[in-house]
Amino acid sequence: MGTLPKFVIGNWKMLSEHAHALKLASEVAAYCAEHDHPHVKTVICPTFTQLVSVEEILKDKKLAPRKLALGAQDCYPAPGGAFTGDISAPMLAEIGVRYVIVGHSERRQKHNETSKFVCEKTVAARDSKLTPVVCIGETLSERQDGQTAHVLGEQIARSLPENFEGIVAYEPIWAIGTGVTPTMEGLQDDITTIRKLLERHQPKTAERIPLLYGGSVKPDQSAEIFAIKGVNGVLVGGASLKAQDFVKIIQSAPQG
């Protein structure tokens, strides 16, 4: 596990207009072109309409995906067909996308996506050689009812295919976009629990699965989060929309 890189993944959600997205991508790309953090894998996930333009910016800077890669925020399980409004994994792969977020709580909650459906997307991502970033997390009431481990266990069991190769992002729903983060002791306990669940449900691949934390990550506490044993990176929403903040989070990722 010590050899896994540190991931810094920016989820721009539907929060960035086109002009802002291009400026943001240019600023992050300029930083990544000029500074080498070989232990960090940085990914930016613009909305669908911005992917091609952002990919052109990364190409112009001659950025290897190792330094800065393109991710999407979702994909549909089927490779193609009559699915109005959806985007398939092969369509993402053909324009240079390398990562795809699946099962974000905003999709699970607002689009009623089940873990079974998330698993189908995860398989589709893998079949197109995209790295899936599978999000899991409990609601505040599930946490208050002492259901956290059970909920996370169910999500892990049902959202990940056998021999899963990809990333898992633990995003407690009550921490997303709220400015509230778990205590570091509490987060350490949850990360330890998730690691054990991964070992139980994914015995062959668990040690290769990077485990990220997401939920109100800001540059002033990202170093503390990176210091938690078993955390291999962060999934960042709001703070990824300001190049300066996002860069500070990249800089806070420790080596090793």
Residues near ligand PEP (CB under 6 A) are 11, 171, 176-177, 214-217, 235-238
Phi, psi of 161 (to 5 degrees): -70, 165
What minimum distance in Å lies between the beta carbon of 234 and ligand PEP? 8
Q: Would you say 209 or 212 has its CB closer to ligand PEP? A: 212
The H-or-E segment that residue 103 falls in is: none
Q: Which residue is nearest to ligand PEP (CB)?
A: 237
Q: How far is the CB of 105 from ligand PEP (least distance, A)?
A: 8
Q: How far is the CB of 119 from ligand PEP (least distance, A)?
A: 19
Indicate the helix (H) or strand (E) that contains 80. Answer: none
If the CB atoms of residues 61 and 173 are measured against ligand PEP, the closer one turns out to be 173
Distance CA 186, CA 54 (A): 37
Catalytic hit among 34, 94, 171, 201: 171
Distance CA 19, CA 184 (A): 37
Told to judge if 150 belongs to the known catalytic residues of this protein, a careful annotator would answer no
Dist. CA 232–CA 244, nearest whole Å? 22
- Among candidate residues 104, 113, 120, 138, the one labeled active-site is 104
Retrieve residue 13's tokens.
Answer: 């959600």
Q: Toward ligand PEP, which CB reaches closer, 73 or 128?
A: 73
Minimum distance of ligand PEP from residue 138's CB (angstroms)? 14
Contact 123, 75 (CB under 8 A): no
| Whether the Cβ atoms of residue 133 and residue 235 lie closer than 8 Å to each other | yes
Shorter beta-carbon distance to ligand PEP: residue 182 or 238 = 238
Tally of CB atoms within 10 A around 183? 8
Query: CA-to-CA distance for 43 and 67, rounded, in angstroms?
Result: 8
104 given a catalytic annotation: yes
Tell me which residues are annotated as active site: 104, 171
